Amino acid sequence: MVDVAVVGSGPNGLAAAVVMARAGLEVHLYEAGATIGGGTRTMELIEPGALHDVCSAVHPMAVASPFFKAFELAKRVELLRPEVQHGTPLDRGGAAVAYQSLERTALELGKDGPAYRRLIEPLLDRVDGIVDLTSYQLLRVPRDPIAALRLGLATLDQGTPFWNRRFSEEAAPALLTGVMAHAVSALPALTATGAGLMLAVLAHAGGWVIPVGGSASIAQAMADDLLAHGGTIRTGEPVESLDQVRPAKAILLDVAAPALIRLGGSEVPDRYRRALEAFRFGNAACKVDFILSGPVPWRDAALHKAGTVHIGGSRTAMAESENLVAMGKHPSEPYVLASQPSLFDPSRAPEGKHILWTYCHVPKGSDVDMAEAVISQVERYAPGFRDVVVASKTTTAAQLSAYNRNYVGGDFSAGQMDLVGLLRRPVLSPTPWRTPMRGVYLCSSSASPGPGVTGMPGYNAAKYALKDIFQRSVPALGL
């Protein structure tokens, strides 16, 4: 009898497997694809030698997540910190940029610099408490009530139609809206603002890091640890029912909520089935990868030093774009996220070439190719961009959904990111990783705390599986 079966080798499945193997249990991890990684795969999508991150590329939580801190990821993977953590080009010229130094960021934001600092500094002072608050389940008493209060007040400040009251210029609001829009939500909105403020604070704390070799290096570090502690990884083995991995004593599922219904079949109690059937998915992404003959020719030189660029212009323009997506429409001038990791990690592209990772938001299930809209948006702020494009590859939302069944309709968050979607993830419970089926746990981004390369859904699920089934505590995870 195998002790533990883990289904799915995304960062959460790998995190769960690492914890269980470190506890001295026999762990078998099953992956339907030919390679491990899920949202942390890096592949030659267009031509040999050009390594593109298939999903995630830049990792604000790699040094902040409680799991990755305990796992000592920074000692296992070389993590690069660009000088500019993120930036937003502006229609009137120039760009708003965030450095790891809050002081330097505020100085370069002009008249609104002091207001930006007053918003962010109280959160930065309690960053550990804020990460703790957002890394487990919201239905619990905060370990740091002051951090929770500060984040709540800042979210109310920036998450309502009065979000411009503290600002008088364009740069600071645009800089903040760029990170808020990560949540694929209408704007302004409280949940998107809370998530965006946490990302903004992390830029000034540990930074938004880029792993050398691509996101796959994070998955490989966890896989190496799992194998070193006796675990087994079985790729090319899709799991279609729980019986397929039995008689494992504990089963941890890195799958989206609907897949739990399929895998459990008649074992899923009716009430729990209905709750899972009510689980909602949000809007989606259309991803466009590029091979370039040189760096993106940004008009503002500061963006050449940025690990992430949020393209969309002013706060108003970005909000309009995201609100169109929320209405089921495809914006002609979409909000675009872009990263050029080959600027910092030359191993990512052949000599003399660069790669550019981009995506924009689209309605769920979209099969529209947004490449031309993305190119036009980049060209607005980087004249001559078209001239450096050597090749490109589009992955529509529908194709993203086919690539990874957890991304239902192309929703890479594996569940809608509104208040209900955060509290009921996948059900309203103080321990949402437990299912009513004995020994079966949900450890995907459909469970709390939700999306992002954090390992926390897997870590949380493993913690309860160790307690419930094996009467063991969480082991040490460091080197």
Partners of 30 in the β-ladder: 7, 234
Token digits for 217? 């290096």
Judgement on whether residues 310 and 360 belong to the same structural domain of the protein: yes
Confidence (pLDDT) at 173? 98
In this prediction the pTM is 0.96
Judgement on whether residues 320 and 372 belong to the same structural domain of the protein: yes
70 within domain boundaries: no
- Indicate the residue among 403, 422, 441 that finishes a domain: 403
- Indicate the residue among 356, 381, 403 that finishes a domain: 403
Confidence (pLDDT) at 139? 81
Residue 381: CATH number of its domain: 3.90.660
Is the pLDDT score of 209 beyond 90?
A: yes
50 within domain boundaries: no
3-state SS record for the chain: CCCEEEECCCHHHHHHHHHHHHCCCCEEEEECCCCCCHHHCEECCCCCCCCEECCCCCECCCCCCHHHHHHCHHHHCCEECCCEEEEEECCCCCEEEEECCHHHHHHHCHHHHHHHHHHHHHHHCCHHHHHHHCCCCCCCCCCCHHHHHHHHHHHHHHCCCCCCCCCCCCHHHHHHHHHHHHHCCCCCCHHHHHHHHHHHHHHHCCCCEEECCCCHHHHHHHHHHHHHCCCEEEECCCCCCHHHHCCCCEEEECCCHHHHHHHHHHHCCHHHHHHHHCCCCCCEEEEEEEEECCCCCCCCHHHHHEEEEEECCCHHHHHHHHHHHHCCCCCCCCCEEEECHHHCCHHHCCCCCEEEEEEEEECCCCCCCCHHHHHHHHHHHCCCHHHHEEEEEEECHHHHHHHCCCCHHHCCCCCCCCHHHHHECCCECCCCCECCCCCEEECCCCCCCCCCCCCHHHHHHHHHHHHHHHCCCCCCCCC
Is the pLDDT score of 109 beyond 90?
A: yes
Phi then psi dihedrals of residue 390, to 5 deg = -95, -45
Judgement on whether residues 287 and 434 belong to the same structural domain of the protein: no
Judgement on whether residues 205 and 334 belong to the same structural domain of the protein: yes
User: Tell me, what amino acid is at 291?
Assistant: I
Judgement on whether residues 98 and 149 belong to the same structural domain of the protein: yes
- Region 467-477: mean pLDDT is 98
pLDDT tens digits, one per residue of 356-407: 999 999 999 999 999 999 999 999 999 999 999 999 999 999 999 999 999 9
Confidence (pLDDT) at 1? 81
Judgement on whether residues 244 and 325 belong to the same structural domain of the protein: no
* Angle 68-74-79 from CA coordinates, rounded to 5°: 115
**In whole angstroms, how far apart are CA 125 and each of 35, 147, 148, 192, 323?**
40, 9, 12, 21, 33
Token digits for 228? 């070193």
Confidence (pLDDT) at 30? 98
The position carrying tokens 């660009």 is 82
- Indicate the residue among 356, 376, 403 that finishes a domain: 403
Q: Mean pLDDT for the chain?
A: 97
440 within domain boundaries: yes
Task: Report the number of distinct structural domains present in the chain.
Answer: 2
pLDDT tens digits, one per residue of 119-139: 999 999 999 999 999 999 888
Confidence (pLDDT) at 442? 98
Q: How confident is the model at residue 87 (pLDDT cuts 50, 70, 90)?
A: very high
52 within domain boundaries: no
Strands 232-235 and 250-253: unpaired
CA neighbor of 239 nearest in space, from 257, 251, 228, 249: 251
Judgement on whether residues 26 and 90 belong to the same structural domain of the protein: no
CA neighbor of 363 nearest in space, from 402, 325, 400: 325
Phi then psi dihedrals of residue 234, to 5 deg = -120, 100
Q: How confident is the model at residue 463 (pLDDT cuts 50, 70, 90)?
A: very high
Judgement on whether residues 313 and 385 belong to the same structural domain of the protein: yes
Query: For residues 252 and 10, what is the distance between their CA atoms, to the nearest angstrom?
Result: 12
pLDDT tens digits, one per residue of 371-384: 999 999 999 999 99
Judgement on whether residues 450 and 464 belong to the same structural domain of the protein: yes
Contact assessment for residue 86 and residue 302, using Cβ atoms and an 8 Å cutoff: no
Is the pLDDT score of 432 beyond 90?
A: yes
Q: How confident is the model at residue 73 (pLDDT cuts 50, 70, 90)?
A: very high
Range of the domain at 245: 4-40+214-279+413-470
pLDDT tens digits, one per residue of 239-275: 999 999 999 999 999 999 999 999 999 999 999 999 9
148 within domain boundaries: yes
Judgement on whether residues 432 and 322 belong to the same structural domain of the protein: no
Judgement on whether residues 228 and 319 belong to the same structural domain of the protein: no
Judgement on whether residues 155 and 288 belong to the same structural domain of the protein: yes
Cα radius of gyration (the chain): 21
